[in-house]
Amino acid sequence: MKRVLQVLGTLSDTGGAEKWILELFRMRDPRVRFDFLLSMNSKVILPDISRLGSAVHLVPFSRSPLPWSWGNPYLCGVRKILRNCKYDAVHVHQFDLSGEILRIAAQEQVPVRVMSVHASKYENPRFYRRFIHYVYGRPNVFRYATNILPCSQAVAESFTSFVVNMLPAAKFLNAKKQILYTGINPEVFENADRLRNKNETGKRLRRELGIPDHATVLGHIGRFTHQKNHRFLLDLMKFLQDMKDNPLCENLSCENTSCENTSCENTSRENTSRAKLNVKMGNRGGGGQDVYFVLVGHGERWEEIRRDIRSRKLEDRMILTGSRSDVPDLLCSLFDVFVLPSFYEGLPIAAMEALVAGLGVVYSDRISCELDHFFPQRVRRVALEASKTYWIKAIYEMVGARCEPSCALTELSATPFTLQSSLEHLISIYQQQDVDAISSLG
């Protein structure tokens, strides 16, 4: 059995990468044992991990701006753990000090040193953290990692951008880099009781959230951060409200093709589209005005978005649920379509889960295109710069693309996006016997 130390900030059943690692851990494969090095406690999850025989090392993340291990208490703690516990592999998940952790692991003779990259962009509001990451941390990743695992092609291209070509370690990069898709666990959606009681569960959730039975529900799941672009969802809802209040304006009469007023002609075309969408979005028989947006998740911008919803008078149509443990029920029984207008992503786990639940998905053109290839009938990619009318038309189209979860699970089985595929790929990496030549560095 290979002992692997997973290095993350924290563990969560709602976050993308954190949830993925937890799902891999819960598979309990006898070929590998996961221990965890965390900088933040998770009182709900950690007792379960310890009870299953895995170690959890808690080392508070230091506020020190110094990236060097001799000046940073966090990195001193990491070195002590790696020196006292002999691990076969260290697997670091992208954050500020990843490069320095990998350097310490090389110095402590850990043979396999893996870096997972879960997003196509590094985001930190502190300038010195960004400076450390790009100028000091990332070159160390290229130098000391034996394997670099971006989660999609877009992430791979972003991570190995122009800086790489100026680094001495660039020649080693292609041999180290492998795309590892963050697969999902289909067993959650194969639950017989969930599928059998889908209609009753949907009615219960609608009563709980105050949504009429005939209304169309647009769903979104994600942390409330800048990355997820929640304000765009508010703009979409405001646009839908305007369609309800004024579906046809007086300029509609100027649809005559002989009209020389170009702006009037464009307005007419836009208003005609709005009128048609008002009819189409009422797929449950309640008219286009009966559309609700349900936003699931929490984060640093949750309160800010809540205030913005109130200021736009959208609180009766936009529902913030916070973090929830019944996400599969929401996907299978409540949502009619899933919307993800992110500024950037790795491989969006929430969107994959929506697809496995049978939903259609509309997301921004900033997201990697793998899902488009494997689920072409139920994915629509829309430019963030496109008009709101275009977004709503794409959303309506995907409402009609919904299929049964049983069909979606069959589609998933033909893709590399299953949790078992991820686990097999990782174990093949952890079981490497030959230490990369670079391990002698440092």
pLDDT at 222: 92
Task: Decide which of 296 and 187 is more confident.
Answer: 296
> Do 173 and 274 belong together in one domain?
no
Taking a C-beta distance cutoff of 8 angstroms, is the pair 293, 392 a contact?
Answer: no
**Residue written as token pair 């009619």:** 336
> Do 236 and 384 belong together in one domain?
yes
> Do 89 and 152 belong together in one domain?
yes
pLDDT at 63: 64
For 169-187, what is each residue's pLDDT tens digit? 455 566 688 899 999 988 8
pLDDT at 441 over 70: no
For 69-92, what is each residue's pLDDT tens digit? 566 888 899 999 999 999 999 999
Taking a C-beta distance cutoff of 8 angstroms, is the pair 419, 27 a contact?
Answer: yes
Supply the pTM of this predicted model: 0.81
Domain tally, the chain: 2
Tokens of 420: 């078992």
- Mean of pLDDT values over 309-320: 95
User: Of 49, 79, 45, which Cα lies nearest the Cα of 62?
Assistant: 79
Taking a C-beta distance cutoff of 8 angstroms, is the pair 367, 352 a contact?
Answer: no
- Mean of pLDDT values over 145-158: 87
Tokens of 184: 């999902």
Taking a C-beta distance cutoff of 8 angstroms, is the pair 305, 231 a contact?
Answer: yes
pLDDT at 238: 93
Residue-range definition of the domain harbouring residue 321: 186-415
What 3-state DSSP class applies to 348?
coil
d(CA 406, CA 195): 9
pLDDT at 158: 76
CATH number at residue 138: 3.40.50.2000
pLDDT at 283: 47
pLDDT at 54 over 70: yes
> Do 25 and 104 belong together in one domain?
yes
> Do 294 and 361 belong together in one domain?
yes
pLDDT at 48: 76
For 387-431, what is each residue's pLDDT tens digit? 999 999 999 999 999 998 889 999 999 999 999 999 999 999 999
Q: To which H or E segment does residue 335 belong?
A: none
- Mean of pLDDT values over 365-379: 92
> Do 272 and 307 belong together in one domain?
yes
- Mean of pLDDT values over 145-150: 92
Taking a C-beta distance cutoff of 8 angstroms, is the pair 186, 23 a contact?
Answer: no
> Do 155 and 18 belong together in one domain?
yes
**Binning pLDDT at 50, 70 and 90, where does residue 190 land?**
confident
> Do 195 and 136 belong together in one domain?
no
pLDDT at 189 over 60: yes
> Do 37 and 89 belong together in one domain?
yes
For 257-266, what is each residue's pLDDT tens digit? 333 343 344 4
**Binning pLDDT at 50, 70 and 90, where does residue 42 land?**
low
- Mean of pLDDT values over 246-256: 37
Residues with Cβ within 8 Å of residue 37, at least 6 apart in sequence:
5, 6, 7, 8, 57, 59, 78, 81
> Do 158 and 275 belong together in one domain?
no
pLDDT at 159 over 50: yes
pLDDT at 80: 95
- Mean of pLDDT values over 304-331: 94
Tokens of 419: 């949790």
> Do 57 and 136 belong together in one domain?
yes
Mean pLDDT for all residues in the chain? 81
Cα separation values, 58 from 8, 9, 41, 78, 85, Å: 10, 10, 7, 10, 14
> Do 119 and 251 belong together in one domain?
no
- Mean of pLDDT values over 195-214: 90
Taking a C-beta distance cutoff of 8 angstroms, is the pair 346, 119 a contact?
Answer: yes
